[in-house]
Structure 1
Amino acid sequence: MEFDFTTLPEQDRYRLLSNFVAPRPIALVTTLSPDGVPNAAPMSFFNVFSQEPPILILGIQMRPNGTIKDTVTNIDASGSFCVNMVDMALAEAMTICGISYAPDVDEIATAGLTMTPATRIEGGWIAESPCAMECKVAETIRYDRRVIILGEVVQMHVRDTCLDDAGRYVRPENYQPIARLHADNYITSDRQFELKAPAAPPVGITRKTPT
């Protein structure tokens, strides 16, 4: 099958991209409105792109009627946001936060979650999250129906049991984030395996370092 993305309707492009670029980690993004109302919204168009500087990227679609979502409004006003990673214990609450509420509704409280004051930014992070990353906006790219936000991580909060004693690597038995596949289908990282590169590359081939 061949698909010409220069002529393909938007929904068909979304369906194909989100079906095949998967699984995608979920960012439960918390922000604070100019009126001081906490907001939380799940996003699967999200990932980490750099460690120097430490950059996360969010892709936030406009509402079907073309209006800007509360998350974008809040980020524009404060210049910051927090990414809370989602595991199975947070999965149901994450879907509740995905409902379109009025701007004056505290979605974190509505979902039965706990807001913890942030250290380096306005607003806060979700105490039930295994890992939360406070971010300051580094750059915003605006398209007609989508906003791409680059956030620089300035503080990370990690549940003690998620890391080994040296604080270097996650314990896979304790940190199992979920990710989105397509439509309402998700996957959890509870079936992990180790895959190491060969000890030496074939003669005449230089091994590349993963980035």
Structure 2
Amino acid sequence: MSSSSVVAFTLGASFASIASAVVFFLRARRQVQKVRGSPDQVVEVQPPHPTWTAGQKQPNPFGHSRTVSFRSTDVVGGSCYPLVISAYIPRPIALVSTISKNGVVNMAPFSYSGAMSHDPPIIAFSVCRKPGGMKKDTLDNIEENGEMVIHIMSEWFVNAANLTCSNFPPEQDEMKTAGLTPIPSVSVLPPRCEESAVQMECKLHSKQDIKNAAGKVTATLILAEVVMWHIHEDVYDDNSGQGPTTVKHDNLHVISRLGGNTYGTTTYVYDLPRPDRPKTGRKV
């Protein structure tokens, strides 16, 4: 093949890849527009790239893919908070209730969070220090009694849940202030929040202080072990006794955290099975 033919072939392949990416971008945009305006409905759509095969390139939709198009920056000490919260998205929100040794209930949302394992079930979240290095009430309470309840945050009570992140004094009950409803837990002292459809009673598994380059503790990572689940019957799914218990995500209207003050919702979903696993998914 001549050099001119190689160039023509390469350009043709590049244009084809870009065109494929643009088609996907426009298709995804149409899917979003299709469900926009109906926040109470989660729509299942077809997965993107239905003709994709293993090894086929999947370029970005920005019109170029050369490494020169990236802007790189070193992290040499100091905080990069705006970059972290706007780049690592979406993040699940752990809405955590705790109780002090004096019986004062605390509630606060944490978007540095995620599920770490299922045997045992471990939910992780990070409690950053206040300005000046002071501990937050949530961390104080967990260090005192090692117990907490982690809730999934849904859209129907997002305003009340968001209010709990205010900087209230330790003696103020955030759950009461926000108008949320406390209900007794079974295995731990902190109350559950009735408004949440998924509630996890947890005990402290372990914790790890996180230090910056100067050796100052800036956050504490909490690993919370779930000892009891409470799932509202309208999101509970026993799969007709034919499979494990799961949660109906389309009824949960879960809220995730994006950058800045922005929250996100799940409005459309699609199934994309792992290539080494049955379409029905993993059972345990």
Flag whether TM exceeds 0.5 (same fold). yes
Spell out the pairing of 1:43-82 with structure 2 (5 A cutoff): 43-82=110-149
- Residue aligning to 2:88: 21
Aligned residues: 199
Letter paired with 1:142: D
Q: 1:187 aligns with which of 244, 261, 264?
A: 264
The offset of 1:122, in angstroms, is: 1.1
Separation in 2, partners of 1:64, 1:22: 24
List structure 1 runs of 4+ shifted beyond 6 angstroms: none
Question: Residues 190-205 of structure 1: matches in 2 within 5 Å?
Answer: 190-198=267-275
Q: Percent same amino acid at aligned positions? A: 32
Residue type of the alignment partner of 2:249:
P
CA offsets per residue over residues 67-107 of structure 1, 9 Å max, x none? 10000000000111110110101210111101011111111
Deviation at 1:169, TM superposition (A): 2.8
Asked whether the 8 Å contact 1:59–1:148 carries over to 2, the reply is: yes
Letter in 1 for 2:99: L
Alignment of 1:9 onto 2:95: no
Matched, 1:109 2:176: yes
CA apart distance, 1:3: 1.5
Task: Find the aligned partners of 1:60 and 1:28 in 2 and give their Cα distance.
Answer: 12
Let me know the Cα RMSD of the aligned residues: 1.8
Could you tell me how far 1:64 is from its partner in structure 2?
1.1
Whether the 8 Å contact between 1:172 and 1:190 is mirrored in structure 2 is: no
Unaligned residue ranges in structure 1 (runs of 5+):
201-208
The structural deviation recorded for 1:165 is 4.3
Partner in structure 2 of residue 204 of structure 1: none
Q: Which protein shows a greater Rg?
A: 2
Which one-letter code corresponds to 1:110 in the other structure? T
Larger helix proportion of the pair: 2
For 1:154, give the aligned amino acid: V
1:99-123 CA deviation, whole Å, 9 max, x = no partner? 0111111110111111111111111
Q: 1:148 aligns with which of 221, 228, 245?
A: 221
**Partner Cα separation in structure 1 for residue 127 and residue 174 of structure 2:** 18
**CA distance in structure 2 between the partners assigned to 1:123 and 1:172 by the alignment:** 26
Look up the SS of the partner of 1:161 in the other structure. coil
Q: Hey, what does 1:30 align to over in structure 2?
A: 97
| Alpha-carbon separation, structure 2, partners of 1:25 and 1:199 | 27
Alpha-carbon separation, structure 2, partners of 1:37 and 1:190:
37
Residue type at the aligned position of 2:158: A
Aligned pair in 2 of structure 1 residues 199, 104: CA closer, same or farther (>3 Å)? closer
**Letter of the structure 2 residue corresponding to residue 120 of structure 1:** S
Could you list the per-position Cα deviations for residues 17-72 of structure 1 after superposition, in whole angstroms to 9, with x for gaps in the alignment? 22111100111100001100111001000111001121111101000121100000
1:163-178 aligned within 5 A: 163-166=236-239, 168-178=245-255
Structure 1 CA distance for aligned equivalents of residues 121 and 162 of structure 2? 28
Query: How far is 1:173 from its partner?
Result: 2.7
Distance in 2, matches of 1:79 and 1:72, equals 9
Q: Secondary structure at the match of 2:139?
A: helix
> Which letter does structure 2 place at the counterpart of 1:159?
H
TM-score, normalised via structure 2 length: 0.67
Cα distance, 1:198 vs. partner? Answer: 4.6
Do the aligned partners of residues 197 and 140 (structure 1) sit closer, same or farther apart at CA in structure 2, a change above 3 Å counting?
Answer: closer
Counterpart code for 1:34: K
Q: Structure 2, unaligned stretches of length 5 or more?
A: 1-70, 211-216
- For residue 206 of structure 1, what is the aligned residue in structure 2? none
1:90 aligns with 2:160: no
Higher-strand-fraction structure: 1
